[in-house]
Amino acid sequence: GENVEQHPSTLSVQEGDSAVIKCTYSDSASNYFPWYKQELGKRPQLIIDIRSNVGEKKDQRIAVTLNKTAKHFSLHITETQPEDSAVYFCAAINGAGSYQLTFGKGTKLSVIP
Amino acid sequence: GAVVSQHPSWVICKSGTSVKIECRSLDFQATTMFWYRQFPKQSLMLMATSNEGSKATYEQGVEKDKFLINHASLTLSTLTVTSAHPEDSSFYICSAETGDTQYFGPGTRLTVL
């Protein structure tokens, strides 16, 4: 089955700086990679996603890059703000199967004002 | 966007009792729903995949007789934790699939005394 590794587990940045979270996956058949933001006690919220036919996607301060050859994808947050503080999860889906999400272990991002 | 509700949001029960959690897709039909379990400071672990009108598919290590799943309609899946014990205390989150995107419910915090 799919295995998703996520690094780092914790990340502290100064407000205004950039944050980068990296994930690797094992199943070369995986073709959809969403990123979720989860605040304490709340549901995961989809913030951005990328499909395997695209190398990069950007939405305002958030971008995701995908390297299919190396089987890794990254989340980039620029001009970080305190409200970006949360736990971020990457995930992968093998679309040829049942659309089951395999999550990374999460990254706790703290943005210091 | 797609909305998924979950009820109850929190529940406290005595050891040995059963608890039912409902997951509803409010504005779309979901052939497939997923049930996750999340321990504090950990990632979401898939428990089972629930398909409308058929038996759920359980992940390895998840007891199907303890975690009963029913997906009777395209908008409702239920998870019943039978004979709950303190170690079943956790945050249970469902998600409903539309296309290849999963939308999460707000979660149910179960505490078993």
CB neighbour class for A106 (10 Å; exposed up to 12, middle 13-18, buried from 19): buried
SS3 B62: coil
Measure Cα distances from A53 to A1, A57, A66, A68, B71 in Å. 22, 11, 9, 9, 33
The Cα A103–Cα B39 span in angstroms is 14
Question: Token pair 């969403």 is at which residue?
Answer: A34
- Residue among B44, B101, B106 minimizing CB distance to A42: B106
> For residue A43, which residues of chain B lie inside 8 Å, CB to CB?
93, 104-107
- Residue among B43, B97, B106 minimizing CB distance to A105: B43
Q: What integer pLDDT is reported at residue A95 of this predicted model?
A: 60
The Cα A15–Cα A105 span in angstroms is 24
CB neighbour class for B62 (10 Å; exposed up to 12, middle 13-18, buried from 19): middle
**A43/B102 touch (CB, cutoff 8 Å), yes or no:** no
Q: What integer pLDDT is reported at residue A97 of this predicted model?
A: 58
Model confidence over A21-53: pLDDT tens digits?
Answer: 999 999 988 889 999 999 988 899 999 999 988
Question: Token pair 């995930």 is at which residue?
Answer: A91
The Cα B8–Cα B64 span in angstroms is 21
Work out the minimum CA distance from B14 to partner chain A, whole angstroms. 22
CB contacts under 8 A, B 91-110 vs A, are 91, 93, 95, 97, 100-107, 109
**B46/A32 touch (CB, cutoff 8 Å), yes or no:** no
Give the nearest chain A residue to B49 (CA atoms): A100
Token reading at A72 = 């890794």
Q: What is the radius of gyration, based on Cα positions, of chain A?
A: 13
Nearest Cα residue to B69 out of B20, B104, B17, B105: B20
Model confidence over A2-24: pLDDT tens digits?
Answer: 899 999 999 999 999 999 999 99
The fraction of chain A above a pLDDT of 70, given in percent, is: 95
Q: Residue-wise pLDDT tens for chain B (113 aa)? A: 689 999 999 999 999 999 999 999 999 998 889 999 999 888 999 999 998 888 899 999 999 999 999 988 999 999 999 999 999 999 999 999 887 788 999 999 999 99
> For residue A37, which residues of chain B lie inside 8 Å, CB to CB?
none
Nearest Cα residue to B83 out of B61, B69, B108, B65: B65
- Residue among B49, B91, B105 minimizing CB distance to A98: B49
**A101/B49 touch (CB, cutoff 8 Å), yes or no:** no
Question: Token pair 């989150």 is at which residue?
Answer: B93
Q: What integer pLDDT is reported at residue A68 of this predicted model?
A: 93
Token reading at B69 = 């799943």
Give the nearest chain B residue to A106 (CA atoms): B43
